[in-house]
Amino acid sequence: MEKSASLSQPALFIKTVIARAYPRVVAQHRRERSWLLFEVILPMLAVSAYVFIYRAIGAPEAYVGFVVMGGAMTAFWMNVLWGMSSQFFWEKETGNLSLYTIAPTSIMAILLGMALGGMTATLLRALAIVLLGILIFNVQFSVASFGLLFLTFSLTMVALYGMGMMTASLFLLLNREAWHLANLAQEPVYLFSGFYFPLRSFNFWVALGASIIPMSLGLDAMRQLVFPVGASLGFLSVPVELAVLTGLSAGFLIGAHYLLRYMERVAIREGRLTDRTR
């Protein structure tokens, strides 16, 4: 028998989101302090390398800002990849997945709570990278519209974490291949999302294909809103990219809903997903 909890029970859904987000938020104040240093300094090494390369070849100074912003956004991709997409695989390995599937609440609410809790720490890390970029490399930001910037960031996060919720069930269905898929997806997304260079550097069709990754268009739109020369180096106009991000958000969330429902049916009726020997 399927669980009765669903989006038709908003109170239970909201309580589940808060309850699952709480441990990740609280853990940020009780974790090993040295980890915070590593999570900020190590990403800055990659950012610094690209900054020095661009300055060595005489690239426009805006590229330095592009790199710093891209380095900050990698924190969110890593959180989605390891904190959401492969999360159920790890929960299965630790024996928690069976508890999730029999709990009288929505699996989607559990994942959303994980996302919001993880996003809190990730946002702090991203802000730290931006601040270090300003202090060390003298990056100058010129925000055209704070409202549009906030809207773009919000849509990017909704689409990105929606993709994370959808791939969480796919990774789980593939069992032990989840670890390999997570490792495989890490570097290609760095490349095709244009973390360290403008997305329009690609051929139009390659860039269009890369737009399936929400980070690609989101980062491109934010660069156009933050840097004066961003519009001239943008792939598509900001309104078009916002429209595509809206479509991706809806598509990934709907896909996540149905894939997670399928995962629940397989887990409850057949018991194939929660068995660590499979």
What does each of the 278 residues of the chain score in pLDDT, given as a tens digit?
444 444 457 788 888 888 888 877 777 666 666 666 666 777 788 888 889 999 899 888 888 889 998 888 888 887 787 777 677 777 777 777 777 777 788 778 888 888 888 787 788 788 888 888 888 888 888 887 889 999 999 999 889 888 888 887 777 776 666 667 777 777 888 888 888 888 888 888 999 998 998 999 999 999 999 988 888 888 889 999 999 999 999 999 898 888 888 877 776 676 656 555 54
pLDDT of amino acid 152: 93
Angle at 144 between CA 141 and CA 150, to 5 degrees: 90
The per-residue pLDDT for 240 is: 94
User: What pLDDT shows up at residue 274?
Assistant: 54
Q: What's the CA gap between 98 and 133, in Å, rounded? A: 44
Q: What is the pLDDT of residue 2?
A: 46
Instruction: Output the pLDDT for position 78.
Output: 79
Phi then psi dihedrals of residue 167, to 5 deg: -75, -20
Query: Residue 33: what pLDDT?
Result: 65
- Contact between 163 and 214 under an 8 Å Cβ cutoff? The reply is yes
In whole angstroms, what is the distance from residue 278 CA to residue 275 CA?
A: 6
Where are the alpha helices (H) located in 198-237, listed in sequence order?
Answer: 204-210, 214-226
Contact 86, 182 (CB under 8 A): yes
Give the closest residue to 257 by CA, choosing from 149, 134, 112: 112
For 199-230, give one letter per residue: b (16+ CB within 10 A) or e: beebeeeebeebbebbbbbbbbbbbbbbbebb
* Single pTM value for the model: 0.81
Share in percent of the chain as helix, strand, coil (round to 5): 80, 0, 20
Phi, psi of 84 (to 5 degrees): -135, -60
Q: Around Cβ 71, how many Cβ atoms within 10 Å? A: 24
Q: Rounded CA gap, 48 and 44, in Å?
A: 6
Give residue 7's pLDDT: 44
CA distance 103 to 6: 12
pLDDT for 95 equals: 74
pLDDT at 268 (0 to 100): 66
Query: Residues near 151 by Cβ (< 8 Å), separated by ≥ 6?
Result: 242
pLDDT value, residue 36: 67
